[in-house]
A = this chain, B = another copy of it.
């Protein structure tokens, strides 16, 4: 944003007025006689350009063109398969295993999750794995397992479409199509997922800016998605003591400034089971509309990512803490 001053304006006074509104500003050099220009930095608080126009000494305000009108139009609370997400609704839970392992496995887990208040069953049918030799998921059959487990228990299904060829089967079985962080800017996939006309869960890329994330959401909405829910899952870290680096500043920004429905996946963010609960609580406090938590009845036998899966008893405790708004008994 650029603020143009009137000739003779008292620059220091205008600078103070802008600082008072949370704006970081730098003055630019101009030829004598030309109106002074003030450049507002991107990490400033959000203000309405029209408000600035009213400050004494301000001639005009130039702002960047809106980049993602469809995302902007989708404010705060959305509804996915009858479940309200964001905008003050009760936090939504999306739980389940990294990989779906069998029909029985999905069914038993759903029966244990639903009574806790978990409304979305998540689980991988197609798995994005760094190595081609790692388990790639059970594929299409696992979609049916998820669907039937959810139907039997009154849950919804969210699962990932890894490529364009998976979009149709995933959209057929799931209530919400997930786009993974490695595909956040796979634009052909975004278009295909958008065209499927289903609500989308869009994970943030590992080094994506908030602006790029919102623009990826814009791709989805432009191509037909009725709703996009954003999901922070940690960005690339230089510190090996956590698997990824959870960016709750981005969550607060999406929630409080852009008024978007955003949930957090603390399991992938930390990679450490011993940090899932405090980071889940922090995510809700930062403005998250819900949580995606990897859960497994028996992490010792999970087909993938067992070390970060939360056993059911710990999940039950965490759900209770979030409901009451505080940790379970003293400092955890």
- Across the interface, A249 reaches (CB within 8 A) one of B46, B270, B308, namely B270
With A and B bound together, what is the CA distance between A245 and B128 in angstroms?
26
Which among A19, A126, A192, A242 has the highest number of chain B CB atoms within 10 Å? A19
Contact across chains for A30 and B60 when beta carbons are under 8 A apart:
yes
Contact across chains for B163 and A241 when beta carbons are under 8 A apart:
no
* Copies of this chain, tallied across the complex: 4
The answer to whether A44 has its CB under 8 Å from any CB of chain B is: yes
Closest to A311 in B: B20
The answer to whether A243 has its CB under 8 Å from any CB of chain B is: yes
Contact across chains for B285 and A16 when beta carbons are under 8 A apart:
no
Q: A129-B187, A165-B188, A188-B189 are in contact. List 13 more A-B contacts (CB 8 A).
A: A4-B34, A22-B272, A29-B62, A45-B307, A130-B212, A132-B219, A163-B188, A211-B239, A246-B249, A249-B275, A252-B278, A256-B278, A281-B285
The answer to whether A186 has its CB under 8 Å from any CB of chain B is: yes
Contact across chains for A256 and B274 when beta carbons are under 8 A apart:
yes
Count how many chain A residues have C-beta atoms less than 8 Å from C-beta atoms of the other chain: 119
Contact across chains for A307 and B24 when beta carbons are under 8 A apart:
yes
Q: Which residues of B contact A188 (CB under 8 A)?
A: 126, 162-166, 189
The answer to whether A326 has its CB under 8 Å from any CB of chain B is: yes
With A and B bound together, what is the CA distance between A325 and B207 in angstroms?
32
Q: Shortest CB–CB separation between residue A134 and chain B, in angstroms?
A: 9
The answer to whether A248 has its CB under 8 Å from any CB of chain B is: yes
With A and B bound together, what is the CA distance between A242 and B24 in angstroms?
11
Q: Which residues of B contact A247 (CB under 8 A)?
A: 245-246
Q: Shortest CB–CB separation between residue A63 and chain B, in angstroms?
A: 6
The answer to whether A28 has its CB under 8 Å from any CB of chain B is: yes
Closest 10 CB pairs of A and B: A163-B188, A207-B207, A19-B306, A16-B300, A20-B300, A22-B273, A182-B185, A282-B286, A28-B62, A207-B236
Q: Which residues of B contact A27 (CB under 8 A)?
A: 65
A19-B307, A164-B163, A186-B186 given; A249·B238 CB < 8 A: no
With A and B bound together, what is the CA distance between A195 and B283 in angstroms?
39
Q: Which residues of B contact A246 (CB under 8 A)?
A: 247-249
The answer to whether A64 has its CB under 8 Å from any CB of chain B is: yes
Could you list some 17 contacts between A and B, CB below 8 A?
A: A17-B300, A20-B298, A20-B299, A22-B299, A28-B62, A45-B272, A46-B274, A67-B133, A130-B212, A132-B187, A132-B215, A132-B219, A182-B205, A186-B189, A245-B247, A256-B274, A256-B278
